[in-house]
Structure formats: C-alpha cells, structure tokens
Chains A and B, each alone.
Chain A
Amino acid sequence: MNAILRKNELAPQIFEFLVSAPQIARKAQPGQFVIVMADEAAERIPLTIADFDREAGTITLVMMVVGASSWKIAQLGTDESLFAVIGPLGHASPVSAGGTVVMVAGGVGTAPVFPIARAFHDQGCKVFTIQGARTGSLLFWSDRLRSVSDELIVTTDDGTAGRKGLVTHPLRELLEQDTARDIRCVYAIGPTPMMRFCALTTQPFAVPTTVSLNSIMVDGTGMCGGCRVEVGGQTRFTCVDGPEFDGHQVDWETLMARQKTYHSHEQCSLQRVPLTAGN
C-alpha cells in the first residue's frame, strides 16, 4: 500500500498525486514509469513518473481520467492509499550535456516531459519546450516547464491560450530556423497521434526523435509481452526495451490498433462508472 499524501486536480479530469514510495523515489530517473493498482481488483496500469523527491521519499504521478481504471484511481483522495505501486520500471532517458534539445509535451504528456527537460537543463543544454493542449483550461505545469526551459511555446487547438494550432507548427519552425544544426534531438511525449505527427515533422530534418510509448501493459517487467510494439521492423517490449523509442522507427498503425484492443470492454466498464468527461 502506498499512501496518497496530496491530490490536486490540475485541470478538468487531470489529477496530480503525491505518493509515498521511498524505494522508488530513491532509484527513479527521468523517463521511467511505475505500474499502479488502485485496489485488489484493479487493472495494473503504467504511469510515467512525473517527479520524485529522494529525501522526502515521494513520487509524483499525473493521470488523466480516460476510462474505468483511471476513474477508479481518481476517486482516491488525500490520506487514502493505492493498493500497489511498482517500479521504477523501464530505461531512464539518456540525458547528456551539450547542444540544443526540443521537448514537445502534448496534453497529459507534460508530466513525463518535465523531469526529462529538467535533466537536460541541469546538464547545461539549451532547452526549447513546446507545450500543447486541446484548450487553455487543460494546460498545467506551464510554469514548471518554463523554469527548466530557455523558451516555452504554448499552443492550443482552439487558440484559448498561447498560439492557436498544433504543436507540430512551432516544431517545424524551430527546425527550419535551426540552420546551424544546433538541435541534436527532439523529445515528443503525449497522445499517440501527436507523437506520430511530431516524428513525421522531424523526419525530413533527420533530427533524432524520441517518443515515450504508452502501450497497454500487465506486469511491466517483460514477463507477459502485452506491450509489444514494432520498431524498425522488429517486435520490441515497451516495458523492458523502452518506454522510449526512436519515433522514426515506430510502427504507429500497429501501436494505435493495439491500444484499441479493449475498446469494447472499456465501453462495458464505463457503463459502471459515472464518468462525465475526459474522453
């Protein structure tokens, strides 16, 4: 059992949890994830670690309510507990010094981008961050992103905050303006279609582009193979080989189809929960 020390609603249906997990906090690195179970009958779902405090023994998780399992977690409040938090799992982001990096954070992807951006920033890299959301009210942690970025560009689909449009527009501009080829890599984390279009955007510029995949998982330790993806024509496991992969090599069609495997089950589960928004 892991105590929830604090819970905030960052935006409608997006929740931040400060969770007691001393051992995970001690080892966590940017880019890693945990498996969370709300209660004994719950699914095991992966959530990327959004922040960690080794001294306080806490980790921060950010989650958007999209289905029955995330709804269940969202019902838990401060001073309640998660049945299980397992991790840290997956490879850490390979952060090193030098050059310019572009971080693209889409929707709830802001949470996992933050510690990676901070790590590059701490290494003295120049960090450009693009944060996108459907609408202004869904934006969160813009200040935190700004604090670890040399420049933050905010976009919303409907223009209610920042620039109107998609994250790929400023991304393309940054790459076009980068005549000196200072940008050594792009990180894109967010909804699968957004990561796919970011990878398509960077491909003509041949800039290495890392994406963090959100495959369906069960154990998260390589045992089941449920999270398998095709990368560069080979079957890989998101949990032990990832979660970060070369966005130019990912077979996005297969990934998106596999993410819909339980679509009909989800409809069945949703009938059991009074879900109002988030889909």
Chain B
Amino acid sequence: MTATSRTKARRVPMPEQPPEQRVGNFREVPLGYTLEQAQAEAARCLGCKKAPCREGCPVSVDIPAFVRLIADGRPAEAAACIRQTNCLPAVCGRVCPQETQCEARCVLQRRGESVAIGRLERFAADFEQAADQVYLPTTAASTGKRVAVVGAGPAGLTVAGDLALRGHEVTVFEAFHKAGGVLVYGIPEFRLPKRIVQSEVEYLERLGVRIELNQVVGQSVSVSDLLDSEGYDAVFIGVGAGLPVTMGIPGENLCGIYLANEYLTRVNLMRAYDFPAVDTPVVRGSRVCVIGGGNVAMDAARTARRLGGEQVNVLYRRTMDELPARAEEVHHAQEEGIDFRTLCAPIEYLGDDRGFVRQVRCQVMELGEPDKSGRRRPVPKPGEQILIDADLVIVAIGSGANPLLTRKTPKVALGRYGHIVANEAGATSLPGVWAGGDIVTGSATVILAMGAGRAAAQDIHAYLMEHSNRGAGDTAQPEPAAESAAA
C-alpha cells in the first residue's frame, strides 16, 4: 500500500452481534477481526518513526512494531511484542479508552480515521490464546526477594507480572474468591468475557505468581504483618476504590435500588443471570432507571436490558455532550434501545407498601456556569419536576476509598477523601509500601491502574535491588532489608 492509499483507506469495521440478538444474551458484542481483516487494518499504519501513538499509551506498548507484525501475518509474534510491556493485552484490547489515548495521537486521526489499535491488540491477544501460542518469556534469575501484592485487579496483576519477570517471588492477596478485581466483578461478560480474564491470570501463574484468594489484607493479615513477620520485602496496595457513594436522598434504601457495584457483582461475579442454577439472586425489573453517565452506568443499563428491562433509562444531570462514558459504550447502549434522559437528577424514590421502589422523582436541570472540572454545572430549573416509573434502580455515581486496609495501616498517609497518598512511582509515606490504581486516584480506568502498576513495579524493583546490593551475603534473610527500610 502506498502512503497515499494508506491515508485514504477506511478503517476496517469490526463485526458485531446485531442489537436485537445481543439483548437476549450475555455473549460478547464485538466479534473480533479475522486474520484478513486484521491484516487489512494493520496495513493502514504509516509506521511513524516518532510513534505518537506510543506516547499516548500509559504502558508504552510498542504499537508500530506489533501492528507491523500483524500486517506481515505474524499475529502470535505481535502478541509477544505487546506482552513485553502489557501483561493483559486481551483485556486492554477490549476495555481501554483507545479513542482518548493511542488512537487519539495517531497521525491518521487528523486525516480521518486512526488505525484501530485497540481492535488489533485484541486480535493479536485472542489469536495467541486460540492458537495456544501464548509466548512465555523467561523470567530473570531468582533474586530471593518477596513481594506482596494486595488486590488482584488491573494494578495488582500488572505489578505481579512485571516483578515476576524480574525474578522476584510475588504473592497476590485477593479478597474475593476469584482473581481479576473489577475485571471479574464489574465489567460485564458481553464486554469482557470471564474466560479472557481467567487466561490472563493463568498466564501470570505460569510466570510464577502465586495468588491467595479469600484474603482480606487489613483484616486477616495486616500490611505490617506482611513486612515484619511474613517475610515480604515490599508491599503493593491495589485494592481499588471500593466504597460506593450514595446520594443521601429520601427512599434510597428501598428494595430494588442497587448501588452499581452490587448489581454488577451479583450478575458478573456471582452469575445471578443464571439463578436459580446458581444461588445468588438479583432483582429483575421491566422499568429500569440507571443514575449516572459513566462507563459503569452503561454497563449497568445494558445488563438490566439483558435481564428483562423493557424500558431502560439512563438519568444524567448534564447533557449528552458532557456524558463521561466512552462513545462506543454510549453507541452500543443506544443501539440496544436504552433511553438517555439528560438534565434529569433524582431527588426522591417512592416505594410501595412492601418497601419496593416504584417511582423516581426527578428535578429537571439546566446548564449554568462551568464548574471546577470545566464542565457546565447543572442547576435546577425552578418548579420543574417529573416522576418516572421504575421497579429497578441502579445508582452508578462513583466510589469513594475503601477503609478496610487503610484504617489498619495508620502509617500510610491518606488524602482528604481517604485515598492513599503516593508519588508518581507509587511510593507511599511508609517505606517498603507502594500503592496504585483507584485507591490512589479515585475511580479511573483499567489502563491507568495498569500504568500505575507498571511505574510502581519499576520503583519496587529498583528498591529491592538496591537493598540486595547493600545486604549482599544475607539474601537468605530478607527481613533485615525490610527493617532497615522501615527504620
């Protein structure tokens, strides 16, 4: 392909399950590229020397190199290339907001449509899985250092993978009975199949990472136990932002009103869509209101649609222009018949005599002056209220900082809202302890958590090697290193 034909070629569309079919199942919506489609799309890449796309990637995947390998018909090698800096390629290919990261920097974006980097990443990762050609890099020689990772979500898994590659002994402690964090409890099957997460976790286990499930660090073992008596040389905290926010409005605790985390956890992790074949139930509603406009709200609305929601409304207090969800998620939701009721803020829930929600009273809003975030602030339109029928409400307005670990770890400094204070490399105020992901930043994205994990892993590695050089000769006793760090 010549440079001119490359810039003129249209993006290869991704085949999808048609909306009327997919609202009746939980199978994945985008079906993935074939090799031919992937090669055609990869051929559009100009192979820029400066590679602005790579600068847009929080984990600096070598995008031109892996895209080139796909174009050359070498997808397994493309996957191996991605794995050099990203241990969860099949996940990122599906859930990263590429349109604001790598693809936004693509030179072709200015001339029309960027290379579909996310779709190609997914293709390469799926190809190596399907062909059973997952490349397993050789890990560095054992350093004798032990690292505890708290939380098996995107941040923790990234740290674990990176440090295992460098020869450290890594144990991940996960509170749930399954590893993956938000990837298994939050993101629905139709956006990220659980088998994908499972195989990424298995990949890490093959690298030598040990995963201890059902361990609530802070409760069954403390961070200081890990450092002082359990013999770990460093601890990474990636527990997520798990403490959902409530609005504090009348009726918010009626039955049939869920905070999004609970609704999604019941359906995803506990598989309530399969009740009574599994034991965990979930309230099904035909008239559903989802409060909020982020990706979690989209996931909740589309899940409710698949569980029998006939009229599913997303209530958002600003307008479509301010909606924070990814464009692709909004598009998919609209295709599935979900209605967006903007400039609409719930102020009260009304229930029946059994305590189940029946209606949502909403205040009609209008946009006023811009607020601190630069978005125009919604203000109530005096005297304008509406009632919307609802037998299921899902509140998706975000999460605060979970206190379980931090309240038992007083030496780790917290910010005003209870999030852990960490520097760019993830180091906290307690030597030997790093943190990253939503427990530091508040609710953000999978890839940002992974980026934080990558940075922390580098810093932890440097710290461990520095200490091993100092303590040369007593690598058999890792504790003194940790103690000198704490002193």
State yes or no: do A and B come from one complex: yes
Interface set of A (CB-CB < 8 Å, partner B): 23-24, 27, 37, 40-44, 68-69, 72, 83-89, 218-219, 221-226, 228-230, 234-235, 237, 240, 251, 253-254, 257-258, 260-262, 265-266, 268-269, 272
- Contact A235–B246 (Cβ < 8 Å): yes
Q: Is the CB of B486 closer than 8 A to any CB of chain A?
A: no
CA separation between A35 and B216, bound complex, in Å?
Answer: 11
Interface status of B280 (Cβ within 8 A of chain A) = yes
Nearest to B281 among chain A residues (CB) is A265
A37–B177 CB distance below 8 A: yes
Give me the 7 closest cross-chain CB pairs, A-B, nearest first.
Answer: A257-B355, A223-B242, A265-B281, A224-B262, A225-B259, A226-B262, A261-B255
Are B279 and A219 within 8 A (Cβ)?
A: no
Q: Taking CB as reference atom, which chain A residue is nearest B261?
A: A224
Pairwise interchain contact A222-B403, C-beta atoms closer than 8 A: yes
Once the chains bind, are A230 and B253 in contact (CB under 8 Å)? yes
- Are the C-beta atoms of A225 and B255 separated by less than 8 Å? no
Number of contacts between A and B (CB, 8 Å)?
Answer: 130
Q: Does the CB pair A223–B216 fall under 8 Å?
A: no
Asked whether, in the complex, the Cβ of A88 is within 8 Å of the Cβ of B220, the reply is: yes
Q: Given A87-B220, A89-B219, A257-B354: A222 and B404 within 8 A (CB)? A: yes
Given contacts A222-B243, A254-B253, contact A269 B279 (CB under 8 A): yes
Q: Give 19 new A-B contacts, CB below 8 A, not counting A86-B214, A223-B242.
A: A27-B220, A44-B177, A84-B177, A219-B265, A221-B404, A224-B259, A224-B262, A225-B258, A225-B259, A225-B262, A226-B258, A226-B262, A235-B246, A240-B243, A240-B403, A240-B404, A257-B255, A261-B283, A265-B276
- Contact B255 A223, beta carbon cutoff 8 Å: no
Q: How far is the CA of A262 from the CA of B246 in the complex (A)?
A: 22
User: What residue of chain B has the Cβ atom nearest to residue A68's Cβ?
Assistant: B279
Q: Report how far A266 CA is from B280 CA in the complex, Å.
A: 10
Provide the residues of chain A in CB contact with B244, threshold 8 Å. 223-225
Binary per-residue interface labels of chain B (243-265) against chain A in the complex, 1 for a CB within 8 Å, 0 otherwise: 11010100011111011011001
* A46 CA to B400 CA, complexed, in Å: 23
Given A224-B244, A257-B355 in contact, is the A268-B176 Cβ separation under 8 Å? no
Docked CA distance A222–B402 (Å): 7
With an 8 A cutoff between CB atoms, is B213 at the interface?
Answer: yes
Q: Which residues of A contact B259 (CB under 8 A)?
A: 224-226, 228
Q: Is the CB of B213 within 8 A of A23?
A: no
Residues from chain B with a CB closer than 8 A to the CB of A237 are: 243
Report which of A23, A219, A225, A226 forms a contact with B176, defined as CB distance below 8 A: A219
Decide if A235 touches B252 in the complex (CB within 8 Å). yes
A229 touches B404 (CB 8 A): no
Contact at B253–A261, with CB atoms within 8 Å?
no
Which A residue's beta carbon lies closest to that of B255? A261
Separation of A265 and B283 alpha carbons in the complex (Å):
9
* Majority secondary structure of chain B interface residues (helix, strand, loop or mixed): loop
Cβ–Cβ contact A257 & B254, under 8 A: yes
In the assembled complex, 30 residue pairs joining A and B whose CB atoms fall closer than 8 Å, in A order, are A23-B215, A23-B220, A27-B219, A27-B221, A42-B278, A43-B270, A44-B280, A69-B279, A84-B177, A84-B214, A86-B214, A86-B220, A89-B219, A218-B270, A218-B280, A222-B402, A222-B403, A224-B259, A224-B262, A224-B265, A225-B258, A230-B253, A235-B248, A240-B243, A254-B355, A258-B253, A258-B255, A260-B255, A260-B354, A266-B281
* B266 close to chain A: CB less than 8 A: yes
CB-based contact A258/B266 at 8 Å: no
- Residue B277 at the chain A interface, CB threshold 8 Å: yes
Residue on B nearest A257 in the bound complex, by CB: B355
Answer yes or no: B175 CB below 8 A from chain A CBs: yes
B232 to chain A, nearest CB (A): 15
Cα–Cα, bound, A132→B221 (Å): 36
The reply to whether the CB of B275 lies closer than 8 angstroms to some CB of chain A is yes
**Residues 321-359 of chain B, each 1 if its beta carbon lies under 8 Å from chain A, else 0:** 000000000000000000000000000000000110000
Q: Which of B219, B254, B278 contacts A41 (CB 8 A)?
A: B278
Which residues of B144-192 are within 8 A (CB) of A?
175-177, 185
Instruction: Report the Cα distance A253→B355, complex, angstroms.
Output: 9
User: Which chain A positions have C-beta within 8 A of B275?
Assistant: 265, 268
Chain A nearest CB, measured from B251 CB (Å): 10
Is the Cβ of A221 less than 8 Å from the Cβ of B175?
Answer: yes
Q: Which residues of A contact B215 (CB under 8 A)?
A: 23, 86
Contact residues in A for B255 (Cβ distance below 8 Å): 257-258, 260-261
With the chains together, A218 CA to B261 CA distance in Å? 10
Among A221, A226, A230, the one with the most B-chain Cβ atoms within 10 Å of its Cβ is: A221
Q: Is the CB of A23 within 8 A of B355?
A: no
A24-B220, A68-B279, A88-B219 known; A218 and B265 CB under 8 Å?
yes
Q: Give bound CA distance, A258 to B262, whole Å.
A: 14
The reply to whether A223 and B261 contact each other, CB–CB distance below 8 Å, is yes
**Chain B residues whose CB sits within 8 angstroms of the CB of A68 once the complex forms:** 279
The docked-state distance in angstroms from the alpha carbon of A273 to that of B262 is 26
Measured in the bound complex, the distance between the Cα atoms of B281 and A257 in whole Å is 16
Partner of B246, one of A83, A219, A225, A226: A225
Please give, as numbers and ranges, the residues of chain A lying within 8 Å of B221 by CB-CB distance.
23, 27
Q: Which residues 214-232 of B have a CB within 8 angstroms of A? A: 214-216, 219-221
Kindly provide the distance from the CB of B270 to the nearest chain A CB, expressed in whole angstroms. Answer: 7
Q: Please, which residue of chain A has its CB at the minimum distance from the CB of B263?
A: A224
Residues of chain B lying within 8 A (CB to CB) of residue A23: 215, 220-221
Which residue in chain B gives the minimum CB-CB distance to A85?
Answer: B214
Interchain CA distance A121-B404 in the complex, whole Å: 29
Q: Quick one: given A228-B253, A260-B354, A262-B281, are A223 and B276 in contact (CB under 8 Å)?
A: no
- Give the shortest distance, in Å, between B96 (CB) and chain A (any CB): 23
Q: Flag if B355 contacts A218 (CB, 8 Å).
A: no
